[in-house]
Amino acid sequence: MSKTKLLQGNDACAEGALYAGCRFFAGYPITPSTEVAEFMSKELPKVGGHFIQMEDEIAAMGAVIGGSLAGAKSLTATSGPGFSLKQESLGYAMLTEVPCVVLNVMRGGPSTGVPTGPGQSDIMQCKWGTHGDHPVICLTPGYVQEIFDETIRAFNLSEKYRTPVIIAYDEIVGHMRERVEIPDAGVIPVIDRTKPPKGLDKYLPYDDTKGDVPPMANFFEGYRYHVTGLNHAPDGFPVNASPRIQTDEERLIRKVDGNRKDICKNETYKLEDAEIAIFAYGSTARGAKDAIDAARAEGIKVGLFRPLTIWPFPDEAVAEVAKKVKTIIVPELSLGQIILEVQRVSAGQCKIEGIFRVDGDPIYPAQILAKIKEVK
Amino acid sequence: MAFDYNQFIRAGKLPHIWCPGCTYGIVFKSIIRSLDAIKQNKDDLAVVSGIGCASRLPGYLDANTLHTAHGRALTFATGIKMVRPEKRVIALSGDGDATAIGGNHFIHACRRNIDITVLVLNNFIYGMTGGQHSPTTPKGHIATTMPYGNIDPNFDIPKLAIGAGASFVARGTAYHVPALDKLLIEAINHKGLSVVEIVNACPTTHGRRNKFKNPTDQLLWMKDTFLPAAAFEKLPPEKTEGKLPMGVLYKKEDATEYCENYDAMAQGVRQKIEGRA
Ligand SMILES: Cc1ncc(C[n+]2csc(CCOP(=O)(O)OP(=O)(O)O)c2C)c(N)n1
Ligand code: SF4
């Protein structure tokens, strides 16, 4: 029997993590993400998992990678300033291909910014926050039920592709309470990392001869291998100045980019006959739906494109939209970040208009409706 | 029969990156002898390091090994230990790694008294980046970022560890090798967080700039400077000037260990739930 609960977004994330088999959480408190840590600290001991509040976000990110290597599906949750602190080790997890999930509940910034207000201005940090060339998977749920579902998907993607997965949603959906259905265990499929067969003479943790995602052994399971943040050979040991560095980094990007069909997910709303499209995610997409209904009532043909996977960016799907509409409106809780991607992929085929807001308030449907009327 | 180091060395991963005269090789062999002495099963051992010359050691050691980010060894090690508390975890750092960039993690790992053996290979300098001063560089010593002589006050690593709550704290040197073997065995066997400062020489970026003409001069300096703790304590203050104690400096047997505390708490929670059911 599935359970129905009234949950806050952050609690739904924690519920989703537990459903997906997360058994380790390391974190450091920061508004507006802290409820996730609080929930996990309460629930993990009950299910044989472990919770630890570390001394800072840098430590939390390191612990999560260690926990995952030791065999536990691992989660950390944070917001703007804490997300910045996690970046070095987030890149480490990308290069070393350690699955884990990092939640960033977005607030205003830069710096301490607006701790209790919503923001979407970390969306580029999600993509480019760490150094070097690397793949990123980032999910952007906008409803509490969706946070539950997408958290499970985040763990599944991270295990399947052996890579960290970021979940980014704004404070509004993080703190909003909605009805959530939690199915019985097993109803939603849960993916675990593929392990190498037992008894190999030699286990190569980064062997790409059989595919872009090499099987991953956990520590203490008999294959004593080496993990390093240095560029490495298939056996995990450092290599310097070798063509292998380039082919390996290209593989990392390919294992995400080459599987866009599996990773990318989006929703459209009344977009089929639209002349104006709205590109929005998270709380702004919710406001956009109301504005669309109001505009449609006045006979304006407008629809929504809502990405649930924002990285990799839905290039082809947005390019299709750009071909069909006159204008794409991009409401954002930033001074213009994701609009740059919309501009890039629409390549001049339609007009692009932004609605930017960073004063700690949401973008209201009325604001979006006014813009729709303006561009009509 | 000669001691078989190969049982703990990864075939084909030598030669190591360390300079001639670097004492990290001495420490490496001491670690291997101590693992052999306690009959450590390699599959049940994780060795975690940060970044620096010292932190390259795990790459040569046949175990589950993790070379992390600068200063972060203890954070990764904490995650591993929390998830698999029954396994042996050793964290290894340079002085810069452990007490500068990783200083916060160092004191907090000590405070938790989590069962990790922390080896701080103190060569008084940043070796890998070419001899910049570290939190342990002696006053007046030349470093590439202290060209006029170091003015930075420095840490006494064992005192720092004791102050922060580690339940086993010791100091050894790359000169006093049999004593170091003994210390490592005791530290690894200790339940709780154990810190061993291991005094090392970096002839390449520290020694030669500071009047140690050759690597042996630095070893002889260790010989003259470090006295067994018991002998050190008996000396009148005027005789301890410029000397430091080595050996086990602090040991608390009854300190409770972090993972055990967690698991006891978790068990209590589960029993309560079962009782209600
Ligand atoms: C975040 C970060 N900052 C700086 C560095 C550069 N770095 C590499 S090794 C090192 C110092 C190492 O000194 P120590 O820990 O004392 O070890 P040693 O090399 O002397 O053994 C520094 C500063 C880095 N890798 N990462
Ligand atoms: S630079 Fe110094 S610490 Fe590094 S290997 Fe050479 S001698 Fe050893």
Mean pLDDT in order along chain A per 10 residues (376 residues): 96 98 98 98 98 98 99 98 98 98 96 94 98 96 98 99 98 98 97 96 96 98 97 95 93 97 98 98 98 98 98 98 98 98 98 97 97 96
Distance between CA A16 and CA A107 in Å, rounded? 22
Does residue B197 contact residue B170 with C-beta atoms inside 8 Å? yes
Q: Which residues contact A267 (CB under 8 A, 6 or more apart)?
A: A304, A306, A308
CB-CB under 8 Å, A56 with B77? no
Query: Which chain B residues touch A92 with a CB distance below 8 Å?
Result: 68-69
Ligand 2 centroid – CA B108 distance (Å): 28
Does ligand 2 lie within 6 Å of residue B126's CB atom?
no
Distance between CA A136 and CA A123 in Å, rounded? 11
Q: Nearest C-alpha to atom 5 of ligand 2 is from which residue?
A: B18
pLDDT of residue B171: 98
Does residue B88 contact residue B188 with C-beta atoms inside 8 Å? yes
Paired tokens of A271: 């977009």
B269 touching A, CB under 8 A?
Answer: yes
Q: In this prediction, does ipTM exceed 0.95? A: yes
Instruction: Determine the residue among A76, A86, A219 to mutate to test chain B binding: the one whose Cβ has the most chain B Cβ atoms within 10 Å.
Output: A219
Query: Which chain A residues touch B104 with a CB distance below 8 Å?
Result: 55-56, 59
B13 touching A, CB under 8 A?
Answer: yes
CB-CB under 8 Å, B265 with A62? no
Distance between CA B268 and CA B271 in Å, rounded? 5
Q: Residue A197 CB: number of other CB atoms within 10 A?
A: 7
Q: CA of B165 to nearest chain A CA: how many angstroms apart?
A: 15
Among B52, B170, B155, smallest CA distance to B118 is for B170
Q: What angle do CA A179, A184, A188 make, to 5 degrees?
A: 85
B122-150 pLDDT, tens digit each? 999 999 999 999 999 999 999 999 999 99
**B123 CA closest ligand 2 atom index:** 3
Please tell me which of the candidates B64, B68, B79 has its beta carbon nearest to residue A224.
B64
pLDDT of residue A1: 81
Sheet (strand A276-279) strand order: A266-269, A302-307, A276-279, A327-332, A351-356
Report the b/e string of B214-240 with b at 16+ CB within 10 A: ebeebbebbeeebbebeebeeeeeeee
CB-CB under 8 Å, B79 with A24? yes
Distance between CA B22 and CA B196 in Å, rounded? 19
Distance between CA A169 and CA A165 in Å, rounded? 13
Question: Residue B133: nearest ligand to its CA?
Answer: 1
**Which chain A residue has the Cα nearest residue B45?**
A220
Among A54, A149, A122, A133, smallest CA distance to A94 is for A133
Query: Which chain B residues touch A58 with a CB distance below 8 Å?
Result: 72, 75, 105
Q: Which residues contact A260 (CB under 8 A, 6 or more apart)?
A: A312
Distance between CA A54 and CA B4 in Å, rounded? 40
pLDDT of residue A90: 98
Q: CA of A65 to nearest chain B CA: how many angstroms apart?
A: 6
Query: Which chain A residues touch B80 with a CB distance below 8 Å?
Result: 66-67, 69-70, 219
Distance between CA B87 and CA B57 in Å, rounded? 20
When pLDDT is averaged across residues B179-183 and rounded to a whole number, the result is 98
Query: Which chain B residues touch A59 with a CB distance below 8 Å?
Result: 72, 74-75, 78, 104-105, 108
CB-CB under 8 Å, B104 with A55? yes
B266 touching A, CB under 8 A?
Answer: yes
pLDDT at B166 over 80: yes
Q: What is the DSSP string of A209-255?
A: TT-SS---PPTTSS---EEESS-B-TTS-B--S-HHHHHHHHHHHHH
CA atoms within 13 A on the CB side of B176: 22
Q: To which residue do tokens 């100045």 refer?
A: A241
B20 phi-psi bin (left φ>0, alpha ψ -120 to 50, beta other): beta
Distance between CA B138 and CA A88 in Å, rounded? 31
Maximum distance among all alpha carbons in chain A?
70
Positive or negative: CA dihedral A28, A34, A40, A41? positive
CB-CB under 8 Å, A56 with B265? no
pLDDT of residue A202: 94
Q: Nearest C-alpha to atom 4 of ligand 1 is from which residue?
A: B70
B113 phi-psi bin (left φ>0, alpha ψ -120 to 50, beta other): left
* Cα→Cα distances A165→A187, A193, B42, B162, Å: 22, 14, 32, 39
Does ligand 2 lie within 6 Å of residue B134's CB atom?
no
A220 phi-psi bin (left φ>0, alpha ψ -120 to 50, beta other): left
Ligand 1 centroid – CA A110 distance (Å): 29
Does residue A304 contact residue A140 with C-beta atoms inside 8 Å? no
Please tell me which of the candidates A45, A48, A62 has its beta carbon nearest to residue B76.
A62
Distance between CA A229 and CA A214 in Å, rounded? 17
Q: To which residue do tokens 């991009």 refer?
A: A330
Distance between CA B188 and CA B67 in Å, rounded? 20
> First-to-last CA distance in chain B?
62
**Which 3 state secondary structure label does DSSP give B64?**
strand
**Which 3 state secondary structure label does DSSP give B109?**
helix
**Which 3 state secondary structure label does DSSP give B177?**
helix
Residue A171, amino acid: E
| pTM passes above 0.95 | yes
Among B50, B86, B75, B85, smallest CA distance to B65 is for B50
pLDDT of residue A153: 99
Distance between CA B8 and CA B16 in Å, rounded? 14
Which backbone phi and psi does A226 adopt, to 5 degrees?
-110, 135
Distance between CA A134 and CA A255 in Å, rounded? 11
Paired tokens of A371: 């813009």
**Which 3 state secondary structure label does DSSP give A353?**
strand
Does ligand 2 lie within 6 Å of residue B53's CB atom?
yes
pLDDT at B277 over 80: no
pLDDT of residue A240: 86
Among A239, A223, A219, A242, smallest CA distance to A231 is for A239
Question: Residue B212: nearest ligand to its CA?
Answer: 2
